[in-house]
Structure 1
Amino acid sequence: MTQSSQKEPTSIHPQTRIGHVHLRVSDLERAIGFYSGVLGFEITMRYGSGAAFLAAGGYHHHIGLNTWESLGATPPPPGHTGLYHTAFLYPTRADLADALRRVYAAGYTLTGAADHGVSEALYLDDPDKNGVELYWDKPEADWPRDTDGNIAMVNTRLDLEDLLREPAPQP
C-alpha cells in the first residue's frame, strides 16, 4: 500500500504507552553493568547466558538485553538507520539530578543536555553506542504554548550545575 492510498489514521487509546525496549548488545555483562549498575534498573530475570530483563518498581521488564545475534558485534556506523535513542522518564527533577550524579560517578560523558520547555533531558551513549535519553517532564501547566495553544517545544541549553543543586530524591 502506498502512502497516498492509506486511509486517514484513527487515534489509539490515550493511555497507550511504550512498554519496554529490547536491545541487541555485544557484551551482556557490560550492558547489565550500565543499565543496572549505573542507571539502577533491577535485574528481574536472566534467560540463560544470552539475555537479561531489567525493570524499575517491580515491573516485569522495561529493558530487554540480548546477545543472540550480536555477541561481540560492533555498533552500526553513523549515518545508518536504527534506534536513535531510548528515553527513560524520571518522576521528578530530583530523580533526574540523581541520575546525572550516577552517570558522572560511573565516568560516562554526556553527549548533550537540553531544556525542551516541556522537559529537561540528558543524553549519553550506552556501552554499545545506543543513544540514551534521561529526562523528566515539567508540569503540563508550565509547558510553553504558541498563541493557538499548541505546544511550542524548544531546544535550549540545560544548566547542569543548577540541576546538580537539586536535593537528593526522597524515597
Structure 2
Amino acid sequence: MSYTVPAATTIGHVHLKVSDLQRSLDFYCGLLGFELMTKFGDQAAFISAGGYHHHIGLNTWHSKGMPPAPEHAAGLYHVAILYPTRKDLAEIYKRLTGAGVAFTGFADHGVSEALYLNDPDLNGLELYWDRPRDQWPKDENGEFTMYTHRLNLSDLLQELNG
C-alpha cells in the first residue's frame, strides 16, 4: 500500500557524536550562536535556536577523544541548518569569515543558497536559506528543478547594506 509522508512533516533535531564537548559548544554556541538549553556533565549538551528544547544534541558517549569518522564510509554527509532570510545567511557568512573559519564550498541551488563547512569533528554542515517557492526554477514541464552553480558571495554580502 502506498504511503506519502504528510506535507507538514519536519526533521526535529540531529544528535552528533563529538570528541570534545566543550570544543563543540564553543563552535556551535560561541561561533554559530546556538543557545545552550541543558548540559549533562561533560558528556552531553542540547542546544537550540529561539528557546526550542533542542535542535542539536552533542554527546561524547561513544566518541570522547576519538578521531573523526572516515570520510569515505557510510554515515552522515552533512547537517543542514536553515536560516530564515538571505540577510541572516549573509550575517553568519560574515561572522564566520571574520573568525577565519574555512569553508568547503558555496552553492546556489536555484531553490536555495548554501555555505558548506565542517565542525571541529569534521561533521559536514550546510548553512542555507530557501528562496520563496514562487522563485524556484522550473523545467519545460513546470516541475521545479535544482542545480549547483557558484554562489555569488559579493551579492550575498550586499544583503547587509540595506
**Which of 130, 139, 143 is equivalent to 1:146?**
139
Task: Return the letter of the residue paired with 1:133.
Answer: E
Aligned to 2:41: 48
TM-score norm. by structure 2 comes to: 0.96
SS in 2 for 1:79: coil
How many residue pairs were aligned?
Answer: 162
Q: Is the aligned partner of 1:79 residue 2:72?
A: yes
Aligned to 1:132: 125
**Which of 90, 103, 108 is equivalent to 1:97?**
90
Q: Is the contact made by 1:121 and 1:133 (CA closer than 8 Å) also made in structure 2?
A: yes
SS in 2 for 1:157: coil
**Which of 105, 112, 115 is equivalent to 1:119?**
112
In 2, distance between residues paired with 1:120 and 1:78? Answer: 24
SS in 2 for 1:54: strand
In 2, distance between residues paired with 1:168 and 1:9? Answer: 49
Structure 2: stretches of 5+ with no match in the other structure: none
Q: Is the contact made by 1:52 and 1:66 (CA closer than 8 Å) also made in structure 2?
A: yes
Aligned to 1:106: 99
TM-score norm. by structure 1 comes to: 0.91
Deviation at 1:106, TM superposition (A): 2.1
State how 1:51-70 maps to structure 2 within 5 Å: 51-70=44-63
SS in 1 for 2:143: coil
Percent identity among equivalent residues? 57
Deviation at 1:168, TM superposition (A): 7.0
Structure 1: stretches of 5+ with no match in the other structure: 1-7
In 2, distance between residues paired with 1:106 and 1:33? Answer: 12
Report which of the two structures shows the higher radius of gyration computed on alpha carbons.
1
Deviation at 1:76, TM superposition (A): 1.6
Moved over 3 A (4+): none
